[in-house]
Amino acid sequence: MDKVFASAAEALADVPDGASLAVGGFGLSGVPNVLIQALHERGVGGLSVVSNNCGALESGLAVLLAAGRIARVTGSYIGANKEFARQYLSGELEVELIPQGTLAERLRAGGAGIPAFYTPAGVGTQVAEGGLPWRYDGSGGVTLASPPKEVREFDGTEYVLERGIRTDYALVRAARGDRHGNLVFGKSARNFNPLAAMAGRVTVAEVEELVEPGALDPDAVHLPGVFVRRVVALTPEQAADKRIERRTVSG
């Protein structure tokens, strides 16, 4: 099945207001910037986003965040995104912060059809006991806090129950992909991209290099096409647009 769409706008034409999105990327690495920009241009709002972080240096999800299009973020890292912190602390944005490994496993579990799992991460903290601020009132008070989670003992060790994550859509970026949706991710871009792709009911992938079916070594495929519904081929200029968060030099 040929899953290639003519443009990012066409591939995302049915994303409604209020949709939930799993978005790949880590910092500035492996971020589906072209798909995010297409959503921004469509004016879609009220989005619930699941991603490690919410953009950086005014790129990636920071574009949607600055435009007020995101209502809720499920992630691990606020980092240097001052607008993210401002919206969270002012009560404009609902935020669920999750230990990074737990977030990764919740996405993978959702994509694998596993509704929940037990993990030791967070036992004895507010992650398990509840009370983490999800929404502030803008004056330092908390209007919505995380609920307590089930804790169970296995072989003398306590574990907390975490739910798998499924989203309406997933947006990812791959180095190479074929028309059937098989994807290969480049180096550090193979971070949250495969996991986000698995969690989405409709996964859209922007690929830097589109190849014909059979051109990819099956042993090199990081994500099989069964998880991908739509593919968008980037232009050479779009594929080459890779930003550096913090440039360092030696000597």
Q: Percent of the chain beyond pLDDT 90?
A: 83
> pLDDT for 155-206, tens place per residue?
999 999 999 999 999 999 999 999 999 999 999 889 999 999 999 999 999 9
Whether the predicted pLDDT of 251 surpasses 70: no
pTM reported for the whole predicted model: 0.93
At residue 239, the pLDDT reads 87
Mean pLDDT value across residues 110-133 = 97
Nearest to 31 by CA among 159, 143, 191, 140: 191
Q: Which residue is listed with tokens 């050479």?
A: 236
Which two three-digit tokens encode residue 183? 């994807």
Which two three-digit tokens encode residue 131? 């009370």
pLDDT confidence of 248, banded at 50, 70, 90? confident
**With left for phi above 0 and alpha for psi between -120 and 50, is residue 217 left, alpha or beta?**
beta
Mean pLDDT value across residues 67-86 = 92
> pLDDT for 86-109, tens place per residue?
999 999 999 999 999 999 999 999
Domains, the chain, with CATH or none: 4-115+164-237 (3.40.1080.10)
Kindly provide the b/e burial profile for residues 64-96, where b requires at least 16 CB atoms within 10 angstroms of the residue's own CB: bbbeebbebbbbbbebebeebeebbeebbbbbb
Report angle CA 229, 44, 142 to the nearest 5 degrees: 110
